[in-house]
């Protein structure tokens, strides 16, 4: 990338927004790179055999320059059912090596039976088995810098969940100055009533200035994801179901989506979806009745991995076209061979890479698989739950791939011609040649395929060059309305392209930033009977012709 101040606009290929034509290439959802060892194990002196790791939140605190983690530790009341829960805290400089500081906040009975505050717990008995979700809110007063949505212990009866309560769970709001000492104001709680049990996710949409909850609703089965929105964290709007499994692209065993962890990434909202495989007739059949070894798909019953969902406006959501896992379960015997659950808040993004932390279990979401593991571990639950890390390299979520047979991708149109064009691509052992074309697919002078210098390396920020060092914005001619880029690929993967223009005074950044802001306000209500920030009824007009970079 250039050293001079520039305005750079990146384009990913997760959907067809900038895809005009594709021939001989295939769109691929790529898997994140798993770190081979757990980052958190239940191996502290105060962890006892009945404890298992149960969900986590991870953020990167820019003010303090470190990662912070809040994770649950559940102590089971029965093998398959409710559990009591404590909340623990950890920090890390690099996201890989974690410190669990002695907080001296919570009395805890350790493995030897002695009670001590020498542990990393910050809450005890406030929440039950299911979950809490944490965000940093930089816009509020320092006293309320940290926000939490949680399920509280008052919902339950002596640690055992009744059927009715399990499926009508109220959610509560808590705030904190330091992330350790929490205030749960009684006069506003609960803030959401009647959602289902199970993990939910908490997200702040920076573009729309709205908090979002992704959770399950009643009835509990089959599992799907609903969206709730709020601007003040107290009054929530039910926006309906957004992810429902069991469509024509899913196998008969996939009709449950258990959770959705959401982040913003280069103009998209991306969701890591807990996709659960079960008995094709009923989850209850698969939970309690073990299949014979020769049953088709027996090894997938109860398995939970992570697939990709996406949205461009935060309201209308889609699932990736190929349903390939972003983080697949591991092979039999691995620590992550059965289930994995993402964090309850947005995965952290550092230097373009996305840190996907997952709570992993070697058994599937079934009573019989759990019992087998518990017997093997002599009912020491510490050995059957871990927090692991998978890193999605910058822009690698979805790519266009070409094999030995050459392929072509036509992308755009872009209203403003770039001074420079960069790609994030893997062309090692292959090649990518780029030409800039007009609205009628005619190459601009000096920017055709015969002028292109092939890209043959693997990496991000690779500059597209042509012979004679020609830049697209320097070519004379009237190309109002935009130009396009045609990528000729062979044995290569294309993850993204970036358009760059000099911007020494920041004018371009302000112009396009204001345009993006205007687009977020586009097509709102103008009737007196509706709030001006609400979307107008009906579908908005097609935006391909809208001004864009």
- Would you mind telling me the total number of residues written for the chain in this entry? 549
Q: Evaluate if residue 263 carries a pLDDT over 90.
A: yes
Intra-chain end-to-end CA distance of the chain, in Å: 18
Q: Evaluate if residue 366 carries a pLDDT over 60.
A: yes
Q: Evaluate if residue 492 carries a pLDDT over 90.
A: yes
For residues 17 and 15, what is the distance between their CA atoms, to the nearest angstrom? 6
Between 417 and 528, the more confident residue is: 417
For residues 270 and 370, what is the distance between their CA atoms, to the nearest angstrom? 31
33-392: CATH superfamily: Glycosyl hydrolase domain; family 43 (2.115.10.20)
6-30+398-502: CATH superfamily: Galactose-binding domain-like (2.60.120.260)
Band of residue 110 on the pLDDT scale cut at 50, 70, 90 = confident
Q: Evaluate if residue 537 carries a pLDDT over 60.
A: no
From its phi and psi, is residue 159 left (phi > 0), alpha (psi between -120 and 50) or beta? Answer: left
Q: Evaluate if residue 522 carries a pLDDT over 60.
A: no
Q: Evaluate if residue 122 carries a pLDDT over 50.
A: yes
Q: Evaluate if residue 475 carries a pLDDT over 60.
A: yes
Residue 461 CA from chain centroid, whole number:
24
Give the global pTM: 0.91
From its phi and psi, is residue 544 left (phi > 0), alpha (psi between -120 and 50) or beta? Answer: alpha
Of 377, 365, 378, 368, nearest in space to 337 by CA: 365
3-class DSSP state for residue 367? helix
- The answer to whether 178 and 148 are in contact (CB under 8 A) is no
Domain coordinates in residue numbering, the chain: 6-30+398-502, 33-392, 507-549
Q: Evaluate if residue 130 carries a pLDDT over 80.
A: no
- The answer to whether 326 and 306 are in contact (CB under 8 A) is yes
pLDDT (tens digit per residue) in 89-102 = 999 999 999 999 99
- The answer to whether 258 and 274 are in contact (CB under 8 A) is yes
pLDDT (tens digit per residue) in 315-356 = 999 999 999 999 999 999 999 999 999 999 999 999 999 999
Q: What is the mean pLDDT of the chain?
A: 88
Weakest mean pLDDT among 213-227, 274-288, 471-485, 511-525? 511-525
Q: Evaluate if residue 380 carries a pLDDT over 50.
A: yes
Question: 342: which residues sit within 8 A by CB, 6+ positions away?
Answer: 201, 259, 261, 272, 274, 306, 327, 356, 357, 358
DSSP code per residue over 188-226:
T--SEEEEPSS--EEEEETTTTEEEEEE-BSS-SS--EE
């Amino acid at each position: 990338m250039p050293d001079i101040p520039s305005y750079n606009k990146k384009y990913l290929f997760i959907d067809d927004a900038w895809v005009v034509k594709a021939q001989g290439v295939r769109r691929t959802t790529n898997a994140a790179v798993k770190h081979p060892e757990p980052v958190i194990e239940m191996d502290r002196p105060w962890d006892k055999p009945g404890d298992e790791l149960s969900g986590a939140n991870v953020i990167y605190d820019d003010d303090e320059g470190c990662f912070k983690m809040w994770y649950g530790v559940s102590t089971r009341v029965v093998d398959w059912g409710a559990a009591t829960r404590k909340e623990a805290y950890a920090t890390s400089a690099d996201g890989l090596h974690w410190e669990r500081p002695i907080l001296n906040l919570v009395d805890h009975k350790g493995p030897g039976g002695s009670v001590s505050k020498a542990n990393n717990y910050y809450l005890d008995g406030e929440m039950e088995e299911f979950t809490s979700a944490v965000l940093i809110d930089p816009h509020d007063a320092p006293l309320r810098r940290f926000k939490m949505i949680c399920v509280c212990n008052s919902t339950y009866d002596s640690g055992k969940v009744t059927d009715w309560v399990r499926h009508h769970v109220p959610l509560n709001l808590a705030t904190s100055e330091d992330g350790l000492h929490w205030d749960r104001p009684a006069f506003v709680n609960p803030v959401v009533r009647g959602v289902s049990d199970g993990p939910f996710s908490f997200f702040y949409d920076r573009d729309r200035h709205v908090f979002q909850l992704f959770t399950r609703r009643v009835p509990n089965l089959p599992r799907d994801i609903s969206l709730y929105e709020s601007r003040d964290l107290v009054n929530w709007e039910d926006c309906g179901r957004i992810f429902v499994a069991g469509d024509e692209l899913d196998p008969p065993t996939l009709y449950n989506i258990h959770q959705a962890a959401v982040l913003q990434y280069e103009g998209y909202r991306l969701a890591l979806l807990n996709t659960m495989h079960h008995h094709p007739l009923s989850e209850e059949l698969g939970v309690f009745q073990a299949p014979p070894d020769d049953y088709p798909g027996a090894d997938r019953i109860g398995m939970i991995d992570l697939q990709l969902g996406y949205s461009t406006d935060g309201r209308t959501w889609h699932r990736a076209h190929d349903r390939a896992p972003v983080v697949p379960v591991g092979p039999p015997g691995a620590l992550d061979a059965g289930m994995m659950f993402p964090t309850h808040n947005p995965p952290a993004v550092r230097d373009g890479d996305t840190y996907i932390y997952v709570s992993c279990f070697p058994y599937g979401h079934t009573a019989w698989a759990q019992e087998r593991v518990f017997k093997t571990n002599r009912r020491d639950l510490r050995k059957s739950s871990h927090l692991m890390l998978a890193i999605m390299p910058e822009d690698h979520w979805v790519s266009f791939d070409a094999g030995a047979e050459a392929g072509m991708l036509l992308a755009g149109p872009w209203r403003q011609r770039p001074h420079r064009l960069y790609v994030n691509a893997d062309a090692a052992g292959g090649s990518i040649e780029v030409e800039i074309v007009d609205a009628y697919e005619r190459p601009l002078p000096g920017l055709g395929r015969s002028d292109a210098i092939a890209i043959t390396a693997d990496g991000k920020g690779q500059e597209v060059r042509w012979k004679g060092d020609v830049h697209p914005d320097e070519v004379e001619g009237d190309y109002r309305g935009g130009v396009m880029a045609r990528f000729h690929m062979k044995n290569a993967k294309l993850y993204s392209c970036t358009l760059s223009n000099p911007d020494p005074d920041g004018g371009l950044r302000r112009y396009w930033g204001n345009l993006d802001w205007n687009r977020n306000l586009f097509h709102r209500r103008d009737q007196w009977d509706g709030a001006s920030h609400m979307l107008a009824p009906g579908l908005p007009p097609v935006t391909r012709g809208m001004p864009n970079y």
